[in-house]
Amino acid sequence: MRIRNVKNKEEIINRSKLIVRNPIEYRGKWNTLFNNNNPIYLEIGIGKGKFIIENAKKYTNINFIGIEKEDSIIPKALEKEEKLDNLRFILMNAYDIDSIFDKEISRIYLNFSDPWPKKRHEKRRLTANKFLVKYDNIFKDKNEIFLKTDNKEFFAYSIESLNNYGYKFKNITLDLVDSDDNVMTEYEKKFRDKGILINSLEAYKNK
């Protein structure tokens, strides 16, 4: 996917009150940033921000953090910025995730992650073993991963990888049915409009 450059992206990022510019300072104490002890849900790769922003509006008793590595993507989310005390964004690579969180995340969302289809790029997939090890370090009470994708090969790989790592599954489907509980991402709406099926799962693992 070609990433289009956003005009004035630095200005948009710099003026946003939702961007956390020094995330490492909050490692182990993100509750102090939100000024509460509510659960923290993390979305890795936020797209244009529709999913995480709508969730933050809908579930005000949950804190949401979205991380995104592309500075040409995150301004799209920030342009939708509203006064949401339970929402923050971090501009970073997911590989460094365990350097800024320490046993304080209750759920991870992986929505339409890059499938990295070539075998030599397997280690970059967000459900590869190297990432699952990192997730162990940031989950609080138990591991909880919610995944949606249009890519059947990535979905099959993720099921195998998560299963081998000790995860159990609920609500696995190759054709996610829209409902009031399902907050769609921009990609999901685009794919649904084209008749493309959405694969979805919820994965859990006890400490």
Residue 141 known to be catalytic:
no
How are beta strands 199-206 and 142-149 bridged, if at all? antiparallel
Residue length of the chain: 207
Q: How would you list the strands of the sheet with 40-44, edge to edge? A: 87-91, 63-68, 40-44, 107-111, 142-149, 199-206, 168-173
Q: How many CA atoms lie within 13 A of 177 on its CB side?
A: 2
C-alpha to C-alpha distances, 55 to 15, 60, 123, 138, 191, nearest whole angstrom: 23, 8, 29, 21, 20
Query: What is the CB neighbour count within 10 angstroms for residue 8?
Result: 10
**155: nearest Cα among 186, 97, 199, 187:** 199
**Running DSSP on this structure, what letter comes out for residue 3?**
P
- Write out the two tokens for 71: 């500075």
Residues 6 or more apart whose CB falls under 8 angstroms from that of 58 comprise 183
> 21 with 44: CB under 8 angstroms?
no
Q: Residues 96, 98, 114, 136: which is the catalytic one?
A: 114
Cα(146)–Cα(106) distance, integer angstroms: 11
Active site residues: 114
